[in-house]
A = this chain, B = another copy of it.
Amino acid sequence: MEDLFLQFLSNTGFALVDYRQVIMLCVGTLFIYLGIAKHYEPLLLVPIGFGVLMGNMPVMHGMGLSIYEEGSVLSYLYYGVTKGIYPPLIFMGIGAMTDFSTMLARPSLMLLGAAAQAGIFITFLGALMLGFSPGEAASIGIIGGADGPTAIFLTSKLAPKLIGPIAIAAYSYMALVPVIQPPIMKLFTTKKERLIKMREPRKVSKRERIIFPIIGLILSCLLAPAALPLLGMLFLGNLLKEATVTERLADAARNTVIDTVTILLGVTVGASTQGDIFLTKESIGIFVLGALSFAVATACGLVFAKGMNLFLKEKINPLIGAAGVSAVPDSARVVHTVAQQEDPTNYLLMHAMAPNISGVIGSAIGAGVLWSFLT
C-alpha cells in the first residue's frame, strides 16, 4: 500500500509543482482580484483568472486533465477557441447589444475608429523587427485593436500557439484602459481642447438602423472579405436587434449565447496559459509590444482627431479620438471621465461611442486584411 500512497503522492500537485505554475497561480488570483475588487472588466477577468488557476494546477500529464491533452474536458471546450468559433458568436451577442445610432448620426467620426487602427500595423512592424514570424507579428499587432474576440480569432488562424499570451495581453490591456489611456490623452491634448463641447447628434430613424447592418455587411465584406466571420455575425446580431420582430432571437444572442460562450472562452483561454508554455521570452515580448500597440493606437486616434479639427467648422473634442481603439465601452467611458475632470458639465460619452464602435469594425477589417495577406 505504501506503493499506492507513494504513487499517489508523486501524482499530487505538491510533488509536481513547478515555480512557473506558482507564478501563474498568483497571476490568476491577481486577475480575479482586479475583476472583483477593482471592477476591471469582471466578466472577462474573473473567468480568465479562474481558468489560469485551473490550467496551472500541477497535474500529471497523460491523465487527460490538461487542456493540451486530447480527450480532456478542457480540450473539448477549447475547440471553440482554436477553431475560431467562439469569437464570432460573441460578436453576434455584441451586435445584438450595440446601438449604432450615434455612429449613424455622425459617420465622419468613424474616421477616428480607422485612425486608431494604425497601432495595429505599427506594432506589426515592431514585432517583425523583434524577429517574430509574420503570422505571429500580425497576431501581436492586433492586440492594439483592443478587441479580445478579434485578437483570439486572428491568432487562432495565424499563430495558434500564441493564443494564450495574446489573449491574456489583449484582455489585460483592455481591462487596464482606465489606467493606460488617461496619461496619453493628457499628453497629446491641450486643456482647451479637452474643454470642447459637442452638439447633440441627430435622431436616427428605425429604418436607418435596420438598413445599416445590411449595408455594413455588404460593403465591409466586399472590401475585406476576410472580415466576414466576425463582421457578418456582428451585423447579424445587430439586425436581429433592430428588426424588433426578431426580438426573441436577439435576446438569445445577447444573453444565452454570449454569456455561455464568454464563460467557456474565458476559462479555456485562461487554462491555456500553462506556466511552462506561457512564461517564455516571447510572452514578455508580446506584453511589451501589446502595451506599445495600445499606446500608439490611442495616440493615433488623438492626433487624427486634432487633424480633423483643422478642417472642421464645428470642432470635435479630440479626446474622443482615443475611443477609436475599441475596448467597448470602457475607452468611451474613460474619454468621458477625462473630459469631466476638466469640466464636469461636459458629456462626451455618447459622442465617444461613435469612434468606439467603429473601432470594432476597423479592427475586424484590419484582422481580415492581415489574414488575407498571410494565408
Contact = CB atoms under 8 A, between A and B. Distances in A.
Interface stretch (A58-66, A184-192, A283-291): A58-66
A223 B12 contact: yes
Interface in A39-80: 39, 42-43, 46-47, 50, 53-54, 57-60, 62-65, 71-74, 76-77
A321 interface: no
Chain A binding site: helix, strand, loop or mixed by DSSP? helix
Contact of A71 (B7, B83, B210): B83
A161 interface: no
Nearest to A271: B232
Contacts of A292: none
A50 B236 contact: yes
Nearest to A260: B252
A208 to B, nearest CB: 13
Given A32-B239, A228-B65, A46 B246 contact: yes
6 contacts: A43-B245, A46-B240, A59-B228, A60-B225, A64-B375, A252-B259
Interface of A: 4, 7-8, 11-14, 16-17, 25, 29, 32, 35-36, 39, 42-43, 46-47, 50, 53-54, 57-60, 62-65, 71-74, 76-77, 83-85, 88, 92, 157, 210, 213-214, 217-218, 221-226, 228-229, 232, 235-236, 239-240, 243, 245-246, 248-249, 251-253, 255-257, 259-260, 262-263, 267, 369, 371-373, 375
